[in-house]
Structure formats: structure tokens, C-alpha cells
């Protein structure tokens, strides 16, 4: 409730100022009415019109104390000094000097706050010397304590506001830097996908060239072998074309420049056949990992095999980073009728660790799987730990989309 009230007051400062001044204006108006109807209420005092003019001069400028605190304080202090010069005794509306002093201390640098505090103390001394026949330093000191308390409250409000503004500025800067890092990470991930695309396509094209050369040599002596080679060329070309159509949609236009850096490397990226080596490598790093494959194993295109390999690699790397000691991981691959389900789960503390799974690596996983119409689910497990579940549909490559 207080948070909403504070936010509302920040959006409507003029309304808040008016609400603060309303009691003083009501008091000034009631005092003016009493004096106008009963002049004997304050014998020897100024006429009622003086009270009305002083109330307007001392209170109305406070409405702009946030925008021009020094100017408002100067007007209020000068009006109070003129009042003292004409021998008019202090009135309750003279408390506006303290309100204006608080505004200066709250919204302006320290030098202005010190100047306003000294002027307020001087006004207190002048007023106290006139209304007291036998000045008592202890009474003046008691009144000064109140003035100093208001002044310190203004200094504290200024310091706190600047501190909160600094926190907000740092938070905004950190958010901008985080977004920038996210964009850079996404760009790096897309460029990495571009390099992998180059490797996969280059491998397929190399296979097609070899098959085409073999078909050229066998076309006269062994027509059947030439026919098989041509069929292999057709299947490989369709597979490469389907993968290109999916991957190019998520690559940046300038990623082709990075492809040129690896133009001479035609070795294909890892696939499902290298999962055993990956698991063994992670085990050697100190993380117990189990690998289980169920269902009827089906042949997957190189692009999907690479996607599965990279996702398992990323998930196990996250477990190594954030799982903590004595954690275990399980990799499950379930070949269904229409899709392949890959599940990587651990029993560590990665879900609760600062900087745990779910950052840029998850973005890369989703980008990879989205190319093949799949989905990624990642989050804490009910019994503790973290898990990543990937679903890749079958029959996408070489099907109707590749035609």
C-alpha cells in the first residue's frame, strides 16, 4: 500500500504540494475570519487585512517549492523580514520559512542548504529578541533545536533521494549491459550455427561430388552401380537443401563472412554416434553420467544429429558448472513413432545456484530446435535438480518441405 502511495505521489507532485498546504491555508483563512468578526481576539495586533496578506505571501509561494526552492525561500524569508521590520509579531504562518528551508535542503546542494539554515536561525534570533523582554539562551536553544531538526531532515531527504537515483541509474545501466550481452551472445550463437551449417552442407556436397565421380566412371561398365550412386546424390542433395532452408532463416546477413574463415574445413560436426565419447569425456571430468536409449533407433539427418549432440553437450556442461559436488546426470533418448525425445536431468543444485541454467545456452537450444519444428522445456525438477527435455519430430527432412 505504501509503495503504491509513494508511486502515486511521485506521479502527482503538484497535488501532493496542494494537500500539504491545504491545512495552512485553512488555518490562515479561519484566523482571518475570526479577526474580521472579532477584532478584540488579538488586542494590539495588526488589522485583519495584514493577516490575510501575510498568509497569501508566505503560503502561496510554497506551492512551487519543488521547482524553485531557493527562490521560494528568498520570497518567504524576505516577507518575514519585512514583517519583523514593521514590528508585526510572529504568526503561525511564519512556519512557512521552515518549510521553504526544508525544500532548499532537500532539493539543492549543501552550500544552499547551509545558507538557508543560517538565514532561518538569524530570523529566529531576531524574532526571539523582540518577543522576549528578558532573553533566555536556553529557550532560544530549544527553538533552535527544532530548526536544526527540520534542516537535518531536509539534508537526509536529499541524500536519500540522490542515493536512490544512483541505484536506479546503475540498475538501468546494468539492464542495458545485460541486453547488450544477450544480443552479442545471440549473434555469436547464430554465427556458430552458420559455421556448423557450412560444415554440414560442405560435407554433403563433398559426398555428392564423390558419388557423381563414381557414377561417371561406372555408367558404361556397371549401370546398376551408377544408378545407386545417382540415387545417393539425389537423397544427399535433398537433405542438404532442406537443412539450408531451415537454417538460413535464422542467420544474420553478415554471418557469411565468418563462413569464409572455415572454408577449408569440410569435416562434418559430431552426431549421435559421438554421444558415447561425449558422455565418457564428461565422466572423466568428475560427473557420473548415465546414457539410455529406448525405442526403435532411426537414422536422422546430420543437422538434427548435430542439434541433439550440442544440446546434450550444453546441458551436461551446465550440470558441471552449476550442479555442485556429488551430483549425477542422466541422458535419455526415446525414439517414438513421430518424434525423438531427449531428456537430460541431474540431481544437483543448478536450479537454485546464482547464474544457473536458463541463460544464453537455453536461447541457443531453442534456436537450434526451432529449425526442425521441435520444442525445448527446461526447468527445475520436482524432486530437486534441473532437467532439459527436447522433442524433435521425425519425417521433416527429405519430406514435403524438402521437395
pLDDT digits (tens, 9 = 90+) for 67-76: 888 988 999 8
Q: What is the pTM of this model?
A: 0.42
Q: Which residue do the cell numbers 507532485 mark?
A: 13
Q: Model confidence at 87, in pLDDT bands (50, 70, 90)?
A: confident
**pLDDT score for 341:** 94
Say whether pLDDT at 293 is over 90.
yes
**pLDDT score for 353:** 44
**pLDDT score for 401:** 37
Beta bridge partners of 267: none
Three-state SS string across the chain, please?
Answer: CHHHHHHHHHHCHHHHHHHHHHHHHHHHHHHHHHHHHCHHHCCCCCCHHHHHHHHHHHHHHHHHCCCCHHHHHHHHHHHHHHHHHCCCCCCHHHHHHHHHHHHHHHHCCHHHHHHHHHHHHHHHHHHHHHHCCCCCHHHHHHHHHHHHHHHHHHHHHHHHHHHHHHHHHHHHHHHHHHHHHHHHHHHHHHHHHHHHHHHHHHHHHHHHHHHHHHHHHHCCCCHHHHHHHHHHHHHHHHHHHHHHHHHHCCCCCCHHHHHHHHCCCCCCCCCHHHHHHHHHHHHHCCCCEEEEEEECCCCCCHHHHHHHHHHHHHHHHHHHHHCCCCCCEEEEEEECCCEEEEEEEECCCCCCCCCCCCCHHHHHHHHHHHCCCCEEEEEECCCCCEEEEEEEECCCCCCCCCC
In this structure, what C-alpha cell is assigned to residue 378?
A: 527446461
Contact (Cβ atoms closer than 8 angstroms) between residue 73 and residue 35: no
In this structure, what C-alpha cell is assigned to residue 233?
A: 546424390
Q: What burial class does residue 306 get, using C-beta atoms within 10 Å of its C-beta: 0-12 exposed, 13-18 middle, 19+ buried? A: buried
Rounded CA-CA distance 61/41 in Å is 28
Each residue's pLDDT tens digit, 97-128: 888 898 898 888 889 989 988 988 888 877 77
166-190: average pLDDT? 83
Residue percentage of the chain with pLDDT more than 70:
68
Each residue's pLDDT tens digit, 227-246: 887 887 887 777 777 767 76
Rounded CA-CA distance 239/208 in Å is 11
Domains for the chain: give ranges and CATH numbers.
2-135 (no CATH), 189-262 (1.20.5), 272-393 (3.30.565.10)
347-351: average pLDDT? 70
**How far apart, in Å, do the first and last CA atoms of the chain sit?**
62
**pLDDT score for 38:** 57
117 vs 357, more confident: 117
Instruction: Say how many residues make up the chain.
Output: 403
Amino acid at each position: 500500500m505504501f509503495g503504491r502511495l509513494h508511486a502515486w505521489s511521485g506521479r502527482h507532485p503538484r497535488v501532493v504540494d496542494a494537500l500539504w498546504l491545504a491545512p495552512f491555508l485553512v488555518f490562515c483563512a479561519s484566523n482571518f475570519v475570526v479577526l474580521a468578526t472579532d477584532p478584540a481576539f488579538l488586542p494590539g495586533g495588526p488589522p485583519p487585512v495584514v493577516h490575510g496578506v501575510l498568509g497569501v505571501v508566505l503560503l502561496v509561494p510554497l506551492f512551487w517549492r519543488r521547482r524553485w526552492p531557493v527562490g521560494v525561500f528568498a520570497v518567504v524569508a524576505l516577507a518575514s523580514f519585512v514583517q519583523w521590520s514593521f514590528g508585526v509579531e510572529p504568526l503561525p504562518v511564519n512556519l512557512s520559512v521552515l518549510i521553504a528551508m526544508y525544500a532548499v535542503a532537500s532539493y539543492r546542494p549543501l552550500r544552499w542548504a547551509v545558507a538557508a539554515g543560517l538565514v532561518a536561525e538569524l530570523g529566529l534570533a531576531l524574532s526571539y529578541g523582540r518577543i522576549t523582554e528578558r532573553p533566555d539562551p536556553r529557550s532560544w536553544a530549544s527553538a533552535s533545536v527544532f530548526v536544526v531538526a527540520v534542516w537535518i531532515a531536509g539534508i537526509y531527504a536529499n541524500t536519500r533521494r540522490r542515493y536512490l537515483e544512483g541505484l536506479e541509474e546503475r540498475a538501468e545501466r546494468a539492464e542495458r549491459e545485460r541486453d547488450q550481452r544477450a544480443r552479442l551472445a545471440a549473434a555469436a550463437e547464430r554465427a556458430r550455427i552458420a559455421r556448423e551449417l557450412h560444415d554440414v552442407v560442405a560435407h554433403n556436397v563433398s559426398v555428392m561430388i564423390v558419388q557423381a565421380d563414381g557414377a561417371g566412371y561406372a555408367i558404361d561398365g556397371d549401370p546398376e552401380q551408377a544408378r545407386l550412386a545417382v540415387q545417393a546424390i539425389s537423397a544427399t542433395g535433398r537433405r542438404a537443401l532442406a537443412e539450408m532452408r531451415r537454417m538460413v532463416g535464422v542467420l544474420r546477413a553478415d554471418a557469411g563472412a565468418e563462413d569464409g574463415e572455415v572454408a577449408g574445413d569440410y569435416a562434418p560436426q559430431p552426431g549421435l554416434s559421438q554421444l558415447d565419447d561425449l558422455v565418457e569425456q564428461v565422466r572423466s571430468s568428475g560427473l557420473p553420467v548415465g546414457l539410455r536409449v529406448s525405442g526403435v533407433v532411426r537414422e536422422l539427418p546430420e543437422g538434427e544429429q548435430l542439434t541433439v549432440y550440442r544440446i546434450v553437450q550444453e546441458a551436461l556442461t551446465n550440470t558441471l558448472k552449476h550442479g555442485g559436488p556429488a551430483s549425477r546426470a542422466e541422458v535419455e533418448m526415446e525414439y517414438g513413432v513421430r518424434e525423438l525425445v531427449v531428456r537430460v536431468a541431474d540431481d544437483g543444485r543448478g536450479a537454485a545456484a546464482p547464474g544457473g541454467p536458463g541463460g544464453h545456452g537455453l536461447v541457443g537450444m531453442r534456436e537450434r530446435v526451432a529449425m526442425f519444428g521441435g520444442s525445448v522445456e527446461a526447468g527445475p525438477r520436482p524432486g530437486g535438480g534441473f532437467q532439459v527435455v527436447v522433442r524433435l519430430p521425425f519425417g521433416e527432412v527429405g519430406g514435403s518441405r524438402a521437395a
